[in-house]
Each structure stands twice: as C-alpha cells, then as structure tokens.
Chains A and B, each alone.
Chain A
Amino acid sequence: MTIEVLSRPSSPALIPSGQMQPVRRQRKNVLDLDDFSVAEIEAVLETAAAMKDVLSRPIKKVPTLRGKTLVTMFYEASTRTRVAFEVAAKALGADTVAVAAASSSVTKGESLIDTIRTLQALGADFVVMRHHQAGAPYVVAEEVKASVINAGDGWHAHPTQALLDLFTIKERLGRIAGLHVAIIGDILHSRVARSNLWGLTTMGANVVLCGPPTMLPAPAFCEGLPWNVERTYRLDEALEGADVVMMLRMQLERGSGGLFPSVREYVRTYALTEERLARAKPGAVVMHPGPMNEGVEIDPRVARGAQSLIEAQVTNGVAVRMALLYLLSGLPA
C-alpha cells in the first residue's frame, strides 16, 4: 500500500497507526481532496500562511521555483483560477505557459491524447488542468511525468478551491473543526461542493447540505462516505446556527435541465438575502467560489456586506496555490 503525501520533509511522520504500514511517497498530483489527511491539509494551510507573507512584501517574488515550468490547460472558461495559478507560479519564479485547449466536443478523445503528447514534449513540471468531463485529469496524470493539479473536472472535483476555502475559513474564524458550515445550491452538479465535502469533513467541520431535491445527492448514495451529512431542502433550516454559509453558483448557462421550474422560483426559495442571513450565527461568514450570479443565488448586499469573505477568497487563492506548487516540488523548508 502506498499513500501519497504532501508535506515538508521536516514535518512529523504522517503514517497512521494500523497493521499495514503504508509506504510514504512524495505526492505527485493534486486531483481531489479525497486522499488528503488532516496533517497534509494542515501543511498546505501553514505553508499558505507563509506565502501570504511573501505576497505582502513590497517585492512579491521569491526565486524558489526558478527554472520550473507550469503549463495551464483550460478546456473550460475560467478567470480567477487560471490567473491565480499564473500569479502564484510567477511569484515563485516559475515560467508559465498557457496552452489553448479546444473544448470542441467533436474532437473529444483525440484532443486529450494530443494534450498528453504536447505536455510530454514541453517537459512541463506542473500541469494545471481544467476540463468539462469528470476524471480527465486522472487520464493525464497517469501518462505524464509532471505534477498534475486538477483545476476543476466536470462535476467531480476542484481541490484547490476547497483548500483556499479552508484557508480562508481558518484565517477568519481561527479553526475549522467544530464549525457549522452550510453549503447551499446545486450540490449534485458541483465540483466545489464535492471537494469541500471531503476537505471540511476531514478537518472536522459539521456540514449541512441545502438545495432543491433535484440538486442534492440521494441519501442512499452518501452512505458510508465521510460526507454522509445533514441535508435539508429548506434554506432557513440550513442557516440556523451556521458559522459559515457557502453559496454555490447556479449554472444558469446550462439551462434548467428540468431541475427547477424558473429562476424566479429559485431566487424566492434559495437566494441568500440579509434577512435570511440573520438566522445564521452573529458573525457568520459568507463565501462563494465565483463567479457570482448576483441577484440569483446571492443578494448583492450580502455579497458586498461585512460578513462576505468573497474577496478574501480570491486573494487567498494565490497564496494557497503557491503553497501547493512549493510542496509538490518537494523542496526542503
């Protein structure tokens, strides 16, 4: 048995107790948070705090990854994730290359194989990949020598978003364990929700999922998973006593797909307004992975209000990705 770990060589042993002693191997890829331990997540969050210090200096740059190349490959539109990776890589002295990836459904399989060959030819050290189909980064990770970082694959996972969410929560509230976190919206089709479920439950948060029945995973399908958590269809119930309110983006560009009758009814039932937010704990924080549909899932006053961490999420996204790149490179502290 082998486990991949992401930690500085100086950190304490991460081997869990048990009869089978897993072999530790420096982590190569970040594909999801389902294989991250508490210690590993903590290592990322601590390193990200140090990176945030670097970013607050007058010269926001260190030469740690000089000579390394990071390739971004986005088959699906993204602004903040792609930019955050590029800024993070540059702040660490790495070179970045953006490969334009056709998202045409006609090319399908061929395009992914093409991608793999391109990456091998480029000799990239890091590949940051976003793809509209779940599992695509796994195909690439198996084939290339570079570290592959999943920047979002279909409905499946968005691990760096979840890590920056964890970092932002801990930074503001001082801890993650024991917090009540409400995730609200289209859970079933959300990679952000999936990765956050792994991350939050690993770190000991109490999560409640809230959305219309057509957008929640069936309870039977959650059995035996760490994210077999509380669920409700009613927003007010989910907000009751919440420390963190995590809103998801409504994928309006996909159309309703028969999942809900109208935007109007969705807004009426699930939009986070100031009145409804009042049900959460005083000082509760509001998060959103962006881009927001202001006026749909979230009222603009809440998005810009004192309880919103949405801008901090964007800023922290750079520090967390710097931390990941640094840790993946396996360099000593």
Chain B
Amino acid sequence: MIRLVGGRIIDPASHRDEIADLLIDSDRIVDNAGSNGETVIDVSGYVVAPGFVDLHCHLREPGFEDAETIASGTRAAAAGGFTTVCALADTQPSTDTGSDVEALLTQARRDAVVRVLPVGTTTKRRESQELSEMVDMAEVGAIAFSDDGRAVRSASLMRHALEYSLLVERPISSHAEDPDLVDGGVMHEGRLATVLGLKGIPREAEEIAVARDLALARLTGGRLHLAHLSTAGAVEQVRRAKAAGVRVTAEVAPHNLVLTDATISDRPYDTNARTDPPLRSLEDAAALLEGLRDGTIDCVATDHSPRRWIDKACEFDAAKPGISGLETAFGLLMRLVHNHSLSLTELIAALSQRAANAWALPYGTLEPGASADVVVLDPDQAWVVDPERFLSKGKNSPLGGQTLRGTILLTIASGSIAYRNGL
C-alpha cells in the first residue's frame, strides 16, 4: 500500500479538487486502507494528479537505440509525469505486424518503467503502398495506427485505411502535411525564414492535408486522429468538422503551443528548434491554445523526438527535426498557467483525462478502481533546463538554460514508483 498524505488532489475526470489522502493498493487506486503494510509519503503542499498520458512519443527502439531506448525513454516519461506513452511506429523495422507489436510489448515488459502502448503503421513500412495488418496488430495490443513522420501519400489509400479501421475500431492518426508543398522546407514560411534564407513550409501544407483527411473521415465514418496540429487554419477546420459530427480527435505538441519560429532566430539556426511540423507564429500558437481550451483540440501530446547529437550538430538543412520533450513538457506548459491562459486543472486534464478519452483508454483518472497512475507535482517550483541531465538519451532541446516553473516530484505507474525527485 502507498498512502500519499495531505496533497491537493486534482482529478478532472471526477471533478475533484480537494485536500485529501490518496490510497494505492497494489496497482489500483482504492477507497479504504487494506490490511497490507503502508508506505506513507507526505505530499502536503503539492498537487496530486492522474499520471499523464502521451499519445505521441518516439521511443526509437528497435533500430535506433543510439537515440533512445524503451528503458531510457520510459524513464524520461516518468520524470515528466507520464505514466502511459504511445510508441509511434517509425522504428527499424517499423511496427507493421502482430509480431512487431508483441516484440515491442515484450521489450517493454522487461525494460519499461511506465506503460507503453504500441501504435502500428497505417501502411506497411510506412510506404503508402499497402495497408498494414490492422486486425493482427489490434488483437495483440496496437491501440492506433499511424505512418507518423510521413503523410499517407494517396487519398484513396487513406480512404481505405479509415474504412478498414472500422473493423478494429481504432483511430488512424495522421501526420497531416502535404509533402509536395513541404518540398524541402525546414521552418515556418514567414518573415524569419525570409531573413534567415531558409526554405519555408507554408501553413497550407498542413491545412490542405487536414482538409483532405477530414473529408475522408466524413466519407468513411472512420476515426481520424490528427497529430501535432500547428496552424490556426487547421484548428478552424477541425472545429467545423466536429460541429458537423465528423469522428475526429486532435492533439497539439507543447512546443507548438508555447514556442514560435522566433526560437530559431533568437539563437541563429538553432537546430534544436527544428521540428516537424515547424514552430509557427504567435497567431498560430494563440489559435492552438484557443482550440485546446474550447475542446476542438482534445489533448496535448509531446511528439517526443530524441535525436543523436550528430543529427543536430550540423547545418540547419541537414538537421533532423524534433525535440526531446518528455521531461520539459509539463514545465513548458506551465507557462500557460502562470500567464493565466489555462487553469492548472485544464492543463492536467489536457495531459491526462482528455488524452485518455481521445483514444478511449481506461486511464487518466484517480477514481477508486482505476489503475494507480499518479503524479505529484509542484506547480511553482522553478528549475533550469539542462539537457545533459535528461534521462532521455536525446539531449536535443531548444530550452537549455531556460527556467521553467513547474516540477514533477513523484510518478507512480501501475502502483510502482517510477520516478522520485526529493519526496
């Protein structure tokens, strides 16, 4: 038994916000103390919340273990307050079959400190040629399908993917970006790309792809999930589609909510700020925030993308996109709470309950009987980001040296302490 004593429990799912003890028996949250011995942890003065759920995370194993492993990635997740991470399929080999899913889960059982849920590919090897074996993968635990990192190239194949997914009732997560319009672009097309002489990616690359996928979701009735939205125009399209009854969910990455393309010019050509989709303008960030607030965007997902040092220590055009984001997500997002754009409860919901609901996962709540996934956090404690101290193997963060206010103190995943920082 674990007893967390005296914390402020915020559980958006049950509308709870009160000072109380939280009891954990084995891997469940319980009402009453059982007869087992108790571990008592004093968490008075801190917030106790449901463990965060990340629908979008690159753990790089198998195939790219020099960038991240399930062991290091899940430790980073725990340090960031995440108790469930969905592992994207762009590994080597990619997660294409039931046996790939099983292999990932086997490895996770051995190495992971938080729950890992596999996402299978939508098309085999993410090549946009043939659909992947969704039934086979769903039976052994794939919770969604995505070719993330690439869009499904043809509209007809995307249509069939959405249709076929009705058989397994799992969402198709789309990296909605028109590759022809990206055309080698490396940052948001705008004033700063013009100044820096870098090829831009227009907002329309996302908006055109989102329009296509929404139309196909309407046509097929399939469950569409839009990964990492970055533009105001896409938010508006999703808002209208939801109002029209299209089955669509959407996520936004912390960096697209809080940072802008100015991060690339503040320290000229900072490859750590190269992301896909790119960091965009203040107006886009404001629209994404509004979308998150009004429910157009369902949740925050990190798009944690650890990279090897050499993949960032190079020319901007040659750098691989992505931010190692699990460990800074909460602190970065807390900027929105500290500047009164979001309430702490809204932020916790966006990271836990609403993420779980988007994909109908039975997590993200502290109600009795739920899986004992709990995070204890201090919303005010400041810390300075030092990527070299990340538990993730990916040290690629544009936030190095910056102060974030909001610290994870304790993470309990399925009843086990996965991360403990000073409590």
Chain A residues close to B by CB (< 8 Å): 31, 34, 108-110, 112-113, 131, 133-136, 138-139, 153-157, 188, 191, 194, 217-218, 220-225
A191 contact set on B, CB distance < 8 A: 197
Partner among A31, A131, A221 whose Cβ is within 8 Å of the Cβ of B194: A221
Also in contact, A135 and B269, with CB within 8 A (given A217-B194, A221-B190, A224-B191): yes
Q: Contact between A135 and B195 (Cβ–Cβ < 8 Å)?
A: no
Given contacts A109-B319, A155-B198, A218-B194, 15 further A-B contacts (CB under 8 A): A108-B318, A109-B310, A109-B313, A109-B315, A133-B316, A133-B318, A134-B317, A135-B197, A135-B316, A138-B269, A139-B269, A154-B197, A156-B198, A217-B194, A224-B191
Q: Contact between A138 and B268 (Cβ–Cβ < 8 Å)?
A: yes
B199 contact set on A, CB distance < 8 A: 155
Interface check B311, CB cutoff 8 A: yes
Residues 170-206 of chain B: 1 if any A CB is under 8 Å from the residue's CB, otherwise 0?
0000000000000000000111011111110000000
A112 contact set on B, CB distance < 8 A: 313-315, 318
* Leading 5 A-B pairs by shortest Cβ distance: A156-B197, A109-B314, A135-B269, A155-B197, A134-B197
Also in contact, A194 and B197, with CB within 8 A (given A109-B310, A134-B269, A221-B190): yes
Q: Contact between A108 and B315 (Cβ–Cβ < 8 Å)?
A: yes
Q: Contact between A221 and B193 (Cβ–Cβ < 8 Å)?
A: yes
Partner among A34, A134, A217, A225 whose Cβ is within 8 Å of the Cβ of B198: A134
Residues 289-333 of chain B: 1 if any A CB is under 8 Å from the residue's CB, otherwise 0?
000000000000000000000110111111100000000000000
A136 to B314, CA, bound (A): 8
Q: Contact between A222 and B191 (Cβ–Cβ < 8 Å)?
A: yes
B194 contact set on A, CB distance < 8 A: 188, 217-218, 221-222, 225
Closest residue to B268 on the A side, CB-wise?
A138
A154 contact set on B, CB distance < 8 A: 197-198, 317
B311 contact set on A, CB distance < 8 A: 109
Q: Output the residue of A112, A135, A156 with the most chain B CB within 10 A.
A: A135
Q: Contact between B268 and A133 (Cβ–Cβ < 8 Å)?
A: no
* Interface SS, B side: loop
B196 contact set on A, CB distance < 8 A: 134-135, 156
A110 to B311, CA, bound (A): 9
Closest residue to A110 on the B side, CB-wise?
B310
CB distance from A206 to the nearest CB of B (A): 20
B310 contact set on A, CB distance < 8 A: 109-110, 113
Closest residue to B191 on the A side, CB-wise?
A221
CB distance from B236 to the nearest CB of A (A): 19
15 A–B pairs (Cβ distance < 8 Å), ordered by A: A109-B311, A109-B314, A112-B314, A112-B318, A134-B196, A134-B269, A134-B316, A135-B196, A135-B197, A139-B315, A154-B197, A218-B194, A220-B191, A224-B191, A225-B194
A217 contact set on B, CB distance < 8 A: 194
A141 to B410, CA, bound (A): 42
Q: Which of B252-300 contact A (CB under 8 A)?
A: 268-269
A308 to B317, CA, bound (A): 37
A138 to B266, CA, bound (A): 13
A135 contact set on B, CB distance < 8 A: 196-198, 268-269, 315-316
Closest residue to B315 on the A side, CB-wise?
A133
CB distance from A238 to the nearest CB of B (A): 20
CB distance from B35 to the nearest CB of A (A): 60
A194 to B191, CA, bound (A): 13
A118 to B199, CA, bound (A): 29
A153 contact set on B, CB distance < 8 A: 197
Q: Contact between A133 and B195 (Cβ–Cβ < 8 Å)?
A: no
Closest residue to A198 on the B side, CB-wise?
B195
Q: Contact between A108 and B314 (Cβ–Cβ < 8 Å)?
A: yes
Also in contact, A133 and B191, with CB within 8 A (given A110-B310, A113-B310): no
Q: Output the residue of B191, B269, B311, B315 with the most chain A CB within 10 A.
A: B315
A40 to B270, CA, bound (A): 27
B318 contact set on A, CB distance < 8 A: 108-109, 112, 133
Closest residue to A228 on the B side, CB-wise?
B191
Q: Contact between A223 and B191 (Cβ–Cβ < 8 Å)?
A: yes
A216 to B317, CA, bound (A): 21
Closest residue to A154 on the B side, CB-wise?
B197
A132 to B83, CA, bound (A): 44
CB distance from B2 to the nearest CB of A (A): 46
A31 to B269, CA, bound (A): 12
Partner among A131, A136, A157, A225 whose Cβ is within 8 Å of the Cβ of B191: A225
A133 contact set on B, CB distance < 8 A: 315-318
A157 to B194, CA, bound (A): 11
A221 to B190, CA, bound (A): 5
Residues 192-225 of chain B: 1 if any A CB is under 8 Å from the residue's CB, otherwise 0?
0111111100000000000000000000000000
CB distance from A225 to the nearest CB of B (A): 7
A218 contact set on B, CB distance < 8 A: 194
A138 contact set on B, CB distance < 8 A: 268-269
Closest residue to A108 on the B side, CB-wise?
B318
A217 to B195, CA, bound (A): 10
A134 to B192, CA, bound (A): 13
Q: Which of B307-363 contact A (CB under 8 A)?
A: 310-311, 313-319
A136 to B318, CA, bound (A): 10
A34 to B311, CA, bound (A): 28
CB distance from B14 to the nearest CB of A (A): 47
A139 to B270, CA, bound (A): 9
CB distance from A130 to the nearest CB of B (A): 13
Q: Contact between A113 and B314 (Cβ–Cβ < 8 Å)?
A: yes
CB distance from A185 to the nearest CB of B (A): 16
A223 to B193, CA, bound (A): 13
Closest residue to A195 on the B side, CB-wise?
B197
CB distance from B317 to the nearest CB of A (A): 4
A95 to B135, CA, bound (A): 69
B198 contact set on A, CB distance < 8 A: 134-135, 154-156
Also in contact, A34 and B269, with CB within 8 A (given A108-B318, A113-B314, A136-B315): no
A220 contact set on B, CB distance < 8 A: 190-191
A157 to B314, CA, bound (A): 18
Closest residue to A131 on the B side, CB-wise?
B315
A34 contact set on B, CB distance < 8 A: 195
CB distance from B127 to the nearest CB of A (A): 22
Q: Contact between B195 and A225 (Cβ–Cβ < 8 Å)?
A: yes
B189 contact set on A, CB distance < 8 A: 221
A109 to B314, CA, bound (A): 5
A110 contact set on B, CB distance < 8 A: 310, 314
A225 to B199, CA, bound (A): 18
CB distance from B193 to the nearest CB of A (A): 7
Closest residue to A75 on the B side, CB-wise?
B315
A134 contact set on B, CB distance < 8 A: 196-198, 269, 316-317
CB distance from A113 to the nearest CB of B (A): 6
A224 to B316, CA, bound (A): 24
B269 contact set on A, CB distance < 8 A: 134-135, 138-139
